[in-house]
Amino acid sequence: MSIAAEPPIDPNRPSTARIADVFLGGTHNFASDRAVAARAIELLPEVPAIARANRAFLRRAVRYAAGRGIRQFLDLGSGIPSANRVHEAARDVAPDARVLYVDIDPTAVLYARHQLESDPGAAAVHGDLLRPAALLDEPEVQDLLDLDQPLAVLLSGVLHFLPDGPDLDAALAAYREAVAPGSVLAISHVTPSDHADLTERFTALYNRTETPLTPREPDEVARFFAGWRLVEPGLVYCPEWRPDPDDEPVSDPARFVTLGGVGER
């Protein structure tokens, strides 16, 4: 199924999803993606560690939601998960968890569909998260998700690729209004504070691709949780969000430049 017209995969145009796959040590990428990733790592050797910390935050947020009784997950801008896949993390806690992956990048959707072929509790669709009405109305989405029951909406590492504007505000409001009480919103987002030098280098690199980066100050990221109650410890650097007991302590979490938070309603 495709909610938006699905463009062909172009191996010569670097894609955000495939570049992230390189950082995570995945194999679903092309030379054009590896060239951008190599340049990124040259400029900012921390990038693979930042990508891993982001996925680890996502895994902990998913397990938190599943622990709260949530059995359905809507992963918006899901990418090419080479590590800490959402359906696996959720099912560690709740084996009956259902997951809908959505991405605007056809490579991400293709790979996810291939992985989920024989999984009746998970699906991947091509779509634009900025068009929530079209997305939530699709029969395949309605078959998998029950909006009368609590849902976890996951926006991991994606909002910083979307510019400010009425489309973004309206989309976030639409997801908030669509979900039942007891639902959860998890967001991770690049921020410029504390280590502005790191984010400037990161931003300059992405600004040369088709997906410029919009790092946001913590208060701007917090604004995305309007209408949700942030759970403890609030909006913090990803490694600081409810670390697992056996996670290695991180001496300078701000070097991870990505904030993570979870809200409930």
The binding site for ligand SAM (CB under 6 A) comprises: 16-17, 20, 54-55, 58, 76-79, 102-105, 108, 128-130, 156-158, 161
Nearer to ligand SAM, 168 or 254 (CB): 168
In three-state secondary structure terms, 239 is helix
Nearer to ligand SAM, 69 or 92 (CB): 92
Nearer to ligand SAM, 148 or 163 (CB): 163
**Nearest distance, CB of residue 76 and ligand SAM, angstroms:** 6
Nearer to ligand SAM, 69 or 258 (CB): 258
* Other Cβ atoms closer than 10 A to 84: 18
**Nearest distance, CB of residue 228 and ligand SAM, angstroms:** 19
| Residue 153 contacts residue 183 (beta carbons within 8 Å) | yes
| Residue 201 contacts residue 171 (beta carbons within 8 Å) | no
Q: How far is the C-alpha of 59 from the C-alpha of 20, rounded, in Å?
A: 16
Residue 230 pairs in a beta bridge with 263
**Nearest distance, CB of residue 181 and ligand SAM, angstroms:** 25
**Nearest distance, CB of residue 18 and ligand SAM, angstroms:** 8
Q: How far is the C-alpha of 244 from the C-alpha of 48, rounded, in Å?
A: 20
Lookup result for tokens 């796959």 = 21
Provide the token pair at 247: 């996670």
Q: Which of 111, 143, 131 is nearest to 3 (CA)?
A: 131
Q: How far is the C-alpha of 34 from the C-alpha of 40, rounded, in Å?
A: 10
Nearer to ligand SAM, 179 or 238 (CB): 238
**Nearest distance, CB of residue 197 and ligand SAM, angstroms:** 21
Bridge pairing between strands 229-230 and 184-190 = unpaired
Which residue's CB comes closest to ligand SAM? 79
Nearer to ligand SAM, 94 or 155 (CB): 155
Nearer to ligand SAM, 7 or 69 (CB): 7
Q: Which of 24, 73, 95, 61 is nearest to 244 (CA)?
A: 61
Nearer to ligand SAM, 69 or 134 (CB): 134
Q: How far is the C-alpha of 77 from the C-alpha of 87, rounded, in Å?
A: 15
Q: How far is the C-alpha of 261 from the C-alpha of 259, rounded, in Å?
A: 7
**Nearest distance, CB of residue 107 and ligand SAM, angstroms:** 8
**Nearest distance, CB of residue 53 and ligand SAM, angstroms:** 10
Q: How far is the C-alpha of 230 from the C-alpha of 37, rounded, in Å?
A: 33
**Nearest distance, CB of residue 86 and ligand SAM, angstroms:** 9
